[in-house]
Amino acid sequence: MAKKFQLGRPELAEALTEQQVGAERARDHQRLSAVRLAMSGELTLAQIAKAVGKARSTVAEWMRVVRVDGLSALLALHQGRGRAPQTQSQSAKGTAHGAAAWTLATAGRTPSSGSPSATGWRWAWEESATG
């Protein structure tokens, strides 16, 4: 049987109630609900995660932040957005300095001479000439 999760910060109970009442963002309510469930000591991390609709690893990270830095630090965490988008200049750097690239090898054919599969067009890996 999975181990019940114990947050171990009973002094946060009053602050938790105040924070939940004043929370305006849905993500803050979600995080504070997870903390409240963890403070009960009756659920596992997986059960808490399922109850708030997040991954177990996310809830575990939230509990680590609460244990170490408190509720205010949990609410201050910014929401992850995945990998940062590359600017056009960043993406061009990879091919401008000798990186290989996929190119369409046309064998002298033009687009008007037919479809790629019918005319023998193929993708080929070639070294950049600007290296």
Place of tokens 């309510």: 29
8 A C-beta contact, residue 62 and residue 35: yes
Res 7: pLDDT: 74
**pLDDT tens per residue, range 40-57:** 888 999 999 999 999 999
| Amino acid identity, position 110 | T
- The rounded distance, in Å, linking the Cα atoms of 58 and 27 is 12
**Average pLDDT, rounded, for the chain:** 75
Could you state, in order of their start, the residue ranges of all structural domains in the chain? 10-76, 99-131
Number of other residues whose CB lies within 10 A of the CB of residue 21: 8
- Percentage of residues of the chain with pLDDT beyond 90: 21
**pLDDT tens per residue, range 11-37:** 787 888 888 888 888 888 899 999 989
The model's pTM is 0.57
- The rounded distance, in Å, linking the Cα atoms of 117 and 106 is 11
Place of tokens 């990270």: 61
